[in-house]
């Protein structure tokens, strides 16, 4: 009995101990589960913050991109600093109740006054919310200016500094073009678009130089996965990009852009281009491209001058004429039968714009742009050996795209006799600029070569690359072909292009102050694969040339696509743009002006030279030296004029009136400095004088309207 009782007690003790152990294990398991649940769902923010605080990473720091300048040092593109503003709501000032309450109203008022986008009360509520949430890196403002950033640093709380005041400022760079639309497409851009980076213009081509080298910054991840700089120290300093010094002259670019824009608007055209280039160096001084957007506004959206290959039309006749002369097949005086302005090749009609030319010289055919004459001559001399003309095209570089300092250069299409599309119409139509495609700049390069006595130079857009003001790379003028033709052929071609302006299709816009030469071109635009007649005709008007004709300094190409007004011919549409550009370049470049030659009248070696001056001053001087003079004019009496010019007549001086229009620039060449300055300043024009003697050159052409002119340079001699 006693043994049974003992066994029972032992079993009870074992069960009790086992129960305690199991209970302890259950409690322990429950505690573990509770802590796991607490970590994961209750105190997860605390633990995530702790984990994040232990996460660091090295990030790349964007370098400051290099500047792009024009040839005179004007900024074409630059990187301006912009700032993102964040607030650390766990800073000392936000935790100090007394300091915060005493400063919040003044801070809110200052923010409202600075940004002006909402009131002080709204700003106060925003800051209170930030403080309540305790965000350490709250994004408060994006893209504020440098001036706004400096002002922020003076406001209550924020002026206590980064760590105490909680103001965190991050600097970024924003690319700006100070002259906005001017040369915008040529300057280009380099930006991320979706998954790929788009590189356009100079920004794209020279990205390696402009972009610089990225730096490195240690960052720490805080709550919410936000990365903040650990401190102000960079692991690796970013290296600023190099600067580009371009050939563009922003003043000439402005002239080209406005001349092009006015003509596009006037003729209701789709788009157009204008290029201005220095003859000797190939430096591109202006390159304007404007296209009409859906809103009707014209903007620089595509670089047609460089990127679009099109059928040039009659401006290509220069190349046909060059080949004929170079191969000795014709002379300018040779005659060709242009018939009645129409001829057929393989049953396809070729027409002149004006019928009834008959028997004409090649000089006349070029000046008046006879399609029939050129098509007949090219077919006559090259149909049996078309490889010969194709060799000319290759020698001029027309079969390869120009190797320019730009991305997106258009590919030319100039077919040879082995092409599948070669036919019996190819030679006659290529002779007048069809069945082939070239970019405007490629064709201008040929015209520039003729103006440069046959030497072809590659168009140049960037002169040098600089780092910290020192040149690291210099681009010199590169000769593509030392002689595209014989010197005598180049001379003949220049004479023909002068004839176009003096007697031919461009004669209506001759200049009285300087000479220029070139060739007009009016091409019918094909309606894609449907041909030239489908859907009604549209046209492309162009003019290629150079000035001054006797000593070429600049070449210029203008093309206007799809003008919708009645006059679509090049002489009415494209030539006025060329002329306006040339006028303004000439007016502002004294080195292009002819010097005014002074000569003594034959009847007296001691006769003083009086060219122009104020009438009473001239008469007083002549009376003092006892020299006879008389007023000579049939329509104006002596009392009606204040200014006179003098010329010898019958052993005396004849005084003629100088007619001055109140709204136009007077001709002061030949005047003394005092009279010239008095006359010009009386018209509200400021005068700068160089040299001694009488006025030999003036920077603004006589006859130009004074509306937008307030300054002139006079050169004495």
Report yes or no: 107 and 127 within 8 Å, Cβ to Cβ: yes
CA distance 390 to 537: 30
Report yes or no: 85 and 77 within 8 Å, Cβ to Cβ: no
CA distance 70 to 73: 5
Report yes or no: 578 and 554 within 8 Å, Cβ to Cβ: no
pTM of the full predicted structure?
Answer: 0.73
DSSP per position, 604-633: -TTPPP--EEEHHHHHHHHHHTT--EEE--
612-716 has the same fold as 251-592: no
CA distance 401 to 419: 18
| H or E, element range at 500 | helix 487-502
CA distance 86 to 521: 61
CA distance 223 to 46: 9
* CA max distance for the chain: 175
CA distance 588 to 712: 9
DSSP at 353: S
CA distance 500 to 519: 6
Q: How many alpha carbons lie under 13 Å from residue 640 in its C-beta half-sphere?
A: 10
Q: In this predicted structure, what is the pLDDT of residue 202?
A: 94
Cα distances (angstroms) measured from residue 305 to each of 148, 186, 272, 276, 378: 41, 10, 8, 11, 28
The CB density around residue 217, as the number of other CB atoms within 10 Å, is: 20
Q: In this predicted structure, what is the pLDDT of residue 213?
A: 83
Q: Which structure tokens are listed for 218? A: 């240690």
**Which of 507, 513, 528, 635 minimizes the C-alpha distance to 572?**
507
What is the C-alpha radius of gyration for the chain, rounded to an integer number of angstroms? Answer: 39
Q: Which structure tokens are listed for 665? A: 């620039």
CA distance 400 to 122: 64
| H or E, element range at 681 | helix 673-681
Q: In this predicted structure, what is the pLDDT of residue 617?
A: 63
Q: In this predicted structure, what is the pLDDT of residue 590?
A: 62
Report yes or no: 713 and 688 within 8 Å, Cβ to Cβ: yes
442: phi then psi, degrees, rounded to nearest 5 = -65, -40
Tell me the CATH class for 612-716. Answer: alpha beta
Per-residue buried b or exposed e for 505-523, using 16+ beta carbons within 10 Å of the residue's own CB:
bbeebebeebbbbbbbbbb
**Which of 302, 263, 316 minimizes the C-alpha distance to 574?**
263
Q: Are strands 652-657 and 629-631 parallel, antiparallel or unpaired?
A: parallel
Cross-strand bridge partners of residue 547? 554
Q: In this predicted structure, what is the pLDDT of residue 654?
A: 64
Q: In this predicted structure, what is the pLDDT of residue 308?
A: 95
Q: Which structure tokens are listed for 310? A: 């099109």
Q: Where are the domains of the chain?
A: 2-42, 251-592, 612-716
CA distance 506 to 518: 8
Q: How many alpha carbons lie under 13 Å from residue 562 in its C-beta half-sphere?
A: 12
Q: How many alpha carbons lie under 13 Å from residue 104 in its C-beta half-sphere?
A: 20
Report yes or no: 414 and 426 within 8 Å, Cβ to Cβ: no
CA distance 349 to 371: 11
CA distance 266 to 258: 12
Residue 330 preceded by cis peptide, ω within 30: no
491: phi then psi, degrees, rounded to nearest 5 = -65, -40
CATH number of 251-592: 3.40.710.10
CA distance 337 to 353: 16
Cα distances (angstroms) measured from residue 120 to each of 85, 105, 109, 511: 18, 8, 5, 65
**Which of 255, 289, 264 minimizes the C-alpha distance to 586?**
255
Q: Are strands 517-525 and 554-561 parallel, antiparallel or unpaired?
A: unpaired
Which residues 6+ apart lie within 8 Å of 226 measured at CB?
136, 137
CA distance 106 to 290: 51
**Which of 625, 508, 514 minimizes the C-alpha distance to 570?**
508
Q: Tell me the H-state helices in 268-404.
A: 304-307, 317-326, 362-367, 371-382, 386-395
CA distance 542 to 318: 13
CA distance 221 to 603: 98
CA distance 483 to 455: 5
Q: Which structure tokens are listed for 352? A: 């002149």
Point out the residues of the chain with pLDDT beneath 50: 533-535, 596, 598-610, 635
């Amino acid at each position: 009995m006693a043994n049974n009782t003992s066994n029972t007690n032992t079993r009870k003790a074992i069960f009790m101990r086992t129960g305690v152990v199991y209970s302890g294990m259950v409690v322990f398991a429950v505690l573990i589960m509770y802590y796991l649940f607490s970590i994961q769902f209750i105190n997860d923010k605390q633990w995530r913050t702790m984990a994040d605080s232990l996460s660091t990473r090295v990030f790349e720091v964007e370098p400051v991109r290099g500047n792009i300048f024009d040839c005179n040092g004007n900024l074409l593109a630059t990187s301006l600093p912009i700032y993102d503003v964040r607030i650390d709501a766990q800073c000392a000032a936000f935790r100090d109740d007394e300091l915060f309450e005493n400063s919040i109203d003044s801070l809110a008022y200052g923010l409202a006054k600075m940004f002006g986008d909402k009131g002080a009360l709204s700003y106060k509520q925003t800051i209170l919310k930030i403080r309540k949430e305790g965000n350490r890196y709250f994004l408060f403002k994006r893209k504020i200016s440098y001036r706004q950033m400096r002002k922020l640093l003076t406001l209550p709380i924020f002026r206590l500094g980064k760590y105490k005041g909680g103001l965190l400022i991050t600097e970024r760079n924003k690319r700006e073009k100070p002259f906005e639309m001017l040369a915008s497409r040529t300057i280009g851009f380099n930006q991320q678009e979706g998954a790929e980076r788009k590189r356009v213009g100079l920004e794209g081509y020279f990205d390696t130089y402009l972009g610089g080298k990225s730096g490195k910054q240690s960052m720490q991840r805080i709550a919410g996965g936000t990365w903040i700089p650990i401190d102000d120290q960079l692991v690796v300093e970013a290296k600023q990009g190099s600067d580009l010094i371009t050939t563009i002259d922003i003043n000439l670019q402005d002239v080209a852009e406005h001349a092009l824009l006015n003509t596009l608007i006037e003729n209701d055209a789709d788009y157009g281009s204008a290029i201005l280039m220095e003859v000797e160096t190939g430096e591109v001084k202006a390159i304007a491209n404007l296209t009409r957007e859906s809103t009707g506004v014209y903007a620089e959206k595509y670089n047609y001058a460089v990127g679009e290959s099109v059928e040039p039309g009659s401006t290509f006749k220069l190349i046909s004429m060059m080949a004929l002369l170079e191969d000795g097949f014709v002379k300018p005086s040779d005659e060709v039968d242009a018939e009645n302005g129409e001829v057929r090749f393989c049953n396809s009609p070729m027409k002149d714009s004006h019928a009834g030319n008959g028997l004409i010289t090649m000089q006349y055919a070029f000046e008046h742009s006879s399609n029939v004459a050129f098509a007949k001559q090219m077919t006559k001399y090259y149909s049996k050996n078309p490889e010969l003309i194709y060799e000319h095209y290759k020698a001029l570089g027309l079969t390869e795209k120009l190797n320019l300092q730009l991305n997106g250069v258009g590919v030319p299409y100039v077919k040879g006799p082995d092409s599948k599309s070669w036919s019996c119409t190819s030679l006659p139509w290529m002779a007048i600029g069809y069945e082939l495609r070239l970019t405007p700049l490629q064709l201008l390069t040929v015209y520039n070569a003729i103006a440069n006595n046959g030497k072809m130079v590659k168009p140049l857009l960037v002169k040098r690359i600089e780092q910290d003001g020192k040149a690291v790379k210099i681009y010199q003028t590169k000769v593509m072909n030392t002689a595209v033709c014989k010197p005598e052929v180049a001379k003949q071609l220049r004479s023909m292009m002068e004839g176009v302006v003096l007697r031919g299709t461009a004669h209506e816009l001759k200049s009285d102050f300087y000479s220029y030469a070139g060739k007009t071109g009016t091409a019918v635009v094909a309606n894609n694969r449907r041909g030239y007649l489908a859907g009604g005709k549209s046209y492309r008007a162009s003019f290629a040339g150079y000035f001054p004709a006797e000593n070429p300094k600049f070449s210029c190409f203008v093309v206007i696509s799809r003008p919708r007004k009645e006059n679509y011919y090049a002489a009415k549409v494209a030539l006025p743009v060329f002329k306006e550009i040339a006028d303004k370049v000439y007016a502002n470049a004294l080195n292009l002006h002819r010097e005014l030659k002074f000569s003594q009248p034959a009847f007296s070696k001691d006769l003083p030279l009086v060219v122009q001056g104020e009438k009473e001053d001239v008469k007083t001087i002549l009376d003092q030296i006892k020299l006879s003079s008389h007023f000579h004019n049939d329509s104006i009496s002596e009392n009606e004029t204040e200014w006179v010019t003098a010329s010898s007549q019958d052993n005396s001086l004849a005084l003629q009136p100088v007619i001055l229009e109140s709204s136009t620039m007077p001709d002061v060449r030949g005047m003394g400095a005092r009279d010239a300055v008095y006359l010009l300043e009386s018209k509200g024009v400021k005068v700068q004088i160089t040299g001694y003697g009488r006025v030999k050159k003036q920077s603004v052409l006589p006859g130009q309207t004074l509306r937008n002119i307030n300054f002139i340079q006079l050169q004495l001699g």
